[in-house]
Each structure stands twice: as C-alpha cells, then as structure tokens.
Amino acid sequence: MKLIIINGPNLNLLGKREPTIYGNTSFESFFEEELKEKYSNVELIYFQSNIEGEIINKIHEVGFSYDGIVLNAAAYTHTSVAIGDAVKAIETPVIEVHISNVHSREKFRHTSYIAPNAKGVISGFGLKSYELAIQSFL
C-alpha cells in the first residue's frame, strides 16, 4: 500500500501557526514520530508546498500509481479550480482532509473545489483527521 500526504500552503507552519485552531505540533514531528511508526506496514510519503503548481505536479506524478492521496490543500481548497481539476484527472482516490472543522468557520471555507471529486472528506479532528484518512484506505 503506497499512500502520500500532500499538504498545501502555510501547513509548514503547523505548531507555530494559530495554535488555538491548528495545535502545537509540527507536521514533521507528527509524521515521523506518530504516523510512520504506527503505519510502518504502509509506504507513506509526505509532501508539502506553498505553491499551487507544485501541488498539481505532485498530484499528476503520483495519481496513476499510488493507492491513495490524503490531500489537505489548505486555503487552495476554497479557491483552486486547477487543483480540483487535477483531482478529477487522476485515477488514484483522494481524501480531502482538514485539521479544523471548516464548516464551523467563515463562510468562504465552506466551499471546496476538491470535495466533488474526492472519495471522502474528513474535517475537524485535528491531526487525527490524517490518521482517519489513512485508516479509510487500509
């Protein structure tokens, strides 16, 4: 089983960024110390970019060979027709995840260009959202 977690803009600042919403843990330490340990039987890759085109290139690169993509496109979720189209274009199933419950926040966060073409959406469980997505692929 080959899975990739793709994180979008500003998620490189997890642990420092708005900790009351996003928590105190950096994604790197969560990934290395929890996810990789817990799912050592899974080939698990992590990619983060603040650049829309790099996220699209990565989706294209893995989208015909991996078993699943866990995608937190962050703010691009609510704005990017291009990432939505990329998710539609590939064969690998995508699960959209969010750390916060986007539906309990500002109205602009209620729109997703990814969800219509995603296998499912997980939102609001903190970093556990990523784990729930991995579990759904297993």
Secondary structure, 3-state, 77-116: HHCCHHHHHHHHHCCCCEEEEECCCHHHCCHHHHCCCCHH
Taking CB under 6 A as the criterion, the residue among 2, 42, 67, 109 binding ligand DQA is 109
Q: How far is the CB of 122 from ligand DQA (least distance, A)?
A: 10
Q: Which residue of the set 46, 76, 98, 130 is catalytic? A: 98
| Catalytic residue flag (residue 98) | yes
Q: How far is the CB of 48 from ligand DQA (least distance, A)?
A: 12
Q: Can residue 26 be called a binding residue for ligand DQA (CB under 6 A)?
A: no
Q: Which of residues 86-105 bind ligand DQA (CB under 6 A)?
A: 98-100, 102
Cα four-point dihedral sign 35, 105, 95, 132: positive
| Catalytic residue flag (residue 22) | yes
DSSP string for 7-67: E-TTGGGTTTS-HHHH-S--HHHIIIIIIHHHTTTSEEEEEE-S-HHHHHHHHHHHTTT-S
Taking CB under 6 A as the criterion, the residue among 44, 46, 55, 72 binding ligand DQA is 72
Q: How far is the CB of 9 from ligand DQA (least distance, A)?
A: 7
Catalytic residue annotation: 22, 98
